[in-house]
Structure 1
Amino acid sequence: GAEYLYLLLAQLLGREAVVAVEDPGYPKIRQVYGSLGLPCRPVPLDGQGMDPAALAASGASVAHLSPNHHYPTGLVTPIARRQALLRWAEDTGGYLIEDDYDSELRFTGRPIPTLQSIDRGGRVLYMNTFSQTISPSMRLGFVVLPPALLAEYRRRLDFYACTVPALEQHVLALFLSEGHYERHLARMRKEYRLRRGAVLAAFRASPFAHRIAISEQGAGLHFLLRLETGRSDEALRQRAEGLGVRLGFLSEYAAVPDGAHAHTLVVNYGGLEPAALPEAMALLAEVFAE
């Protein structure tokens, strides 16, 4: 899975690497790199993802980012910003780790080319997993290295054994080669497009609809919901726990506290069955009540 790849990439890049991470962002990325002694520099996001000027000011030599559907904000980085990030890498001799989280589940519009596909200077390390699209229990991920780093990996780290059983690798390879994976993705997109539509409609018809603003990019299995409330995130969390509901807040993902993240929930809807929506909305109405 992704965590094992983070460990390998940290060793490949070396202890002298300084890693820029998205803020807010997936906390485990910071935790893994930090546990191996690599300094992490949180870089704030603007409306287009990681800002190249802020990245340059951070002094980082590597940037770890998810341009196709950032977790947890859902931001999609446009092509002009991707090209600017590539210029930063080429000008500084740095690297971009493209963590292509959730990229397969896009429901509207055409996908933007990956950083790796438009990289001409060998500055992008592309990684992805099958956790979202097949099963988290497989723990099966992969990384595509530029030629220079591939040679370095083979020289220094090729002694590591693969953690994924050979049988599962062969089964997945057959699944891919015979076209089953693309058909599976098509079915998933249809199912989750319907599920997403039902969840959004339920929120917009809820008793608290006038107090929320939803931010979503027509992709992935999560979106942001900002709540108009005088209560703190912690007070909302405690009230929810008392009703058996677990809430995730954007503020939990920030390395540097920022009041702008308050009262914003990360709604992961993938496991929420449409039949459960009325009960879910009723419980949230209790949690959100002033």
Structure 2
Amino acid sequence: RNMDVEPERIIIGAGTEYLYGLLVQLLGFDLLYAVENPGYNKILDVYSSLGVKCVPIDMDEQGILVNQLEDLDVDIAHISPSHHFPTGIIMPITRRYELLGWANKKEHRYIIEDDYDSELRLSGHPIPALQSIDLSEKVIYMNTFTKTLASTIRISYMVLPHHLLELYNKKLSFYACTVSNFEQYTLASFINEHYFDKHITKLRNHYHNKRDAIVKMLEESSLKDMITISKEDAGLHFLITIHTHMSDETLINKLKEEGIHLRAISHYYLKNTPHTSHTFIMNYSSIDLDKLPQAIEILEKILY
């Protein structure tokens, strides 16, 4: 990720939700937090449950809109620039510097960089973390091993800027780490002996082949003129836009009756925003390739 980090700056916790709670205690309850819209609803729920004011900020094709952050005088922006869920947007360098410029305008402004599945970029070169180009220590980097190892391994971490580490040690160092030493030493050995690197390489190859097989199957089906596939280069999902006059809800319900569960991007908007793109999320990590032809036939029957 092109990051230069001292071990002392890494705070480990059992899941990112726990770390969000630490961050709110560290940064302050009286600040205005912002999340991406559309976005992962649970992040907004966690901040709201902690009693802080949190607002959704709209996005364009490059990521979160900096002018809205400015207009609302947001203090903390929680973003996922390497691979946004659910849109799949990868934030370009120009928007990244624009965000850093916004954060530098006021002392208490920070960016939380949620890098939840950056290791699973399937095409092209790895994209450096936003934290790696932050010269003013305005970025708090977060990641987890849940996506890369197993959902039952609750090990997440955040990297604090130096001055926030000092504040953390003064205010919150009394907290015991919520991840056992046994798990930490085991994971450390797994990393130090290069098994984690090998595991990531195998994962990338596996998902790359699986994604290609799914895309090929879709593009060679009779659906090819009714769908558009996009954002397939990173993470474990891509987008499929279905050209239909049916509403998202109608199509989803018809598929559900046939035993197929599909989620639309429209479900992830955190406020009333117009959305008529009929774009759906194809999370392929758990798709059974043997059953995909049957699912395509069902979709064909519904659409034609």
TM-score bucket (shorter structure): over 0.9
1:203-251 CA-partner distances (Å, limit 9, x unpaired): 2122222111111141110111111112222212221221111111101
Shift of 1:261: 4.9
Listed as ranges, the gaps of 5+ residues in structure 1 are none
> Which has the higher mean CA deviation after the structures are superposed, 134-143 or 108-117?
108-117
In the alignment, which of 77, 88, 91 is matched to residue 74 of structure 1? Answer: 88
- Percent identical across equivalent pairs? 44
**TM-score w.r.t. length of structure 2:** 0.91
Q: What pairs with 1:163-242 in structure 2 (closer than 5 Å)? A: 163-242=178-257
Q: What pairs with 1:1-290 in structure 2 (closer than 5 Å)? A: 1-93=15-107, 94-286=109-301, 288-290=302-304
- Contact 1:98 1:116 (C-alpha < 8 Å) held by counterparts: yes
Which residue in 1 is equivalent to 2:7? none
Equivalent pairs counted in the alignment come to 289
1:72-127 CA-partner distances (Å, limit 9, x unpaired): 10000111211111111111221000000210011222222211111111111000
**TM-score w.r.t. length of structure 1:** 0.95
How far apart are the structure 2 equivalents of 1:242 and 1:130? 35
Listed as ranges, the gaps of 5+ residues in structure 2 are 1-14
1:7-58 CA-partner distances (Å, limit 9, x unpaired): 2212222111111111001100100001112111211111111122222112
Amino acid in structure 2 at the alignment position of 1:170: Y
- Contact 2:140 2:159 (C-alpha < 8 Å) held by counterparts: yes
Higher helix share: 1
Amino acid in structure 1 at the alignment position of 2:271: V
Is the alpha carbon distance of 1:26 and 1:173 closer, same or farther for their aligned partners in structure 2, counting shifts above 3 Å? same
SS of residue paired to 2:119: coil
Query: Root-mean-square deviation (CA), in Å?
Result: 1.5
- Contact 2:232 2:239 (C-alpha < 8 Å) held by counterparts: no
